[in-house]
Amino acid sequence: MDNPTNIYLVDDDDAVRRTLSRALQHSGYPAIAYGSGAEFMQSFDTASFGCLILDVAMPGMSGLDVQSELNRLNCPIPIIFITGHGDIPTSVKAIKGGAIEFLQKPYPMDVLLERIEEALINEDRRYSDTQLNQKTLKRFASLTKREADVMASLVAGLADRSNKQVAKDLEISPRTVEEYRARILQKMKASSITHLVEIAKTCGIYRAENPSPQ
């Protein structure tokens, strides 16, 4: 795993932070520890990748408050809740909020490590997807305005549009469309128009024509 992931630990209990940090480090997962939810939120970059181990009951900003704020900021970092005062309504709320685990203290360390590993595998995929999307957007930004217009027309609808249809839309010749088409496929590294449609969705320019009636 070569992406920049971190393990974040948020717990107001000093002893828990020290003990868990040592255990994680011993298992190869150095943790960045915080004593409160507010302290964590003040320094956390929501574009970060990793896993958040979060205590439920903390003074001030609770673990559920932190989760709610991360959701509001559209931050998808996986959360593992740990608590010494768990109950069913709290655990249900945490899981509904997107938490991947809710562990009651004392919990088996091997279970926590398994959940962390699962979270980091998923984060590795998310990182790869993010990097790919960034490269795709960079390629799209390299298109001229006219190339972008032709691309948008090429991917309109579900079917492969003919050069004549695109030419009619943009009031240019089919031969010119053919030249643009070849250039766009090359620049966007698309193997086909079907592939270009998927790329267009990432770029936010795909539009379906004649949608099926609801």
Q: Among 82-86, 97-101, 200-204, which is the least confidently predicted range?
A: 82-86
What residues does each domain of the chain span?
A: 5-131, 142-203
Hey, what CATH topology would domain 5-131 get? Rossmann fold (3.40.50)
Give yes or no for residue 208 having a pLDDT over 80.
no
For residues 50 and 3, give the distance between their C-alpha atoms in angstroms, rounded to a whole number: 9
**If you average pLDDT over residues 123-132, what whole number do you get?**
93
Q: Are strands 5-10 and 49-55 parallel, antiparallel or unpaired?
A: parallel
Please report which confidence band the pLDDT of residue 60 belongs to, taking 50, 70 and 90 as the band edges.
Answer: very high
HEC assignment per residue over 53-68:
EEECCCCCCCHHHHHH
pTM of the model: 0.76
**If you average pLDDT over residues 69-76, what whole number do you get?**
96
Please report which confidence band the pLDDT of residue 159 belongs to, taking 50, 70 and 90 as the band edges.
Answer: low
For the chain, the helix, strand and coil percentages under 3-state DSSP, each to the nearest 5: 55, 10, 35
Hey, what CATH topology would domain 142-203 get? Arc Repressor Mutant, subunit A (1.10.10)
Give yes or no for residue 211 having a pLDDT over 50.
no
Please report which confidence band the pLDDT of residue 106 belongs to, taking 50, 70 and 90 as the band edges.
Answer: confident
Nearest-5° Cα angle at 49, 45 to 53: 85
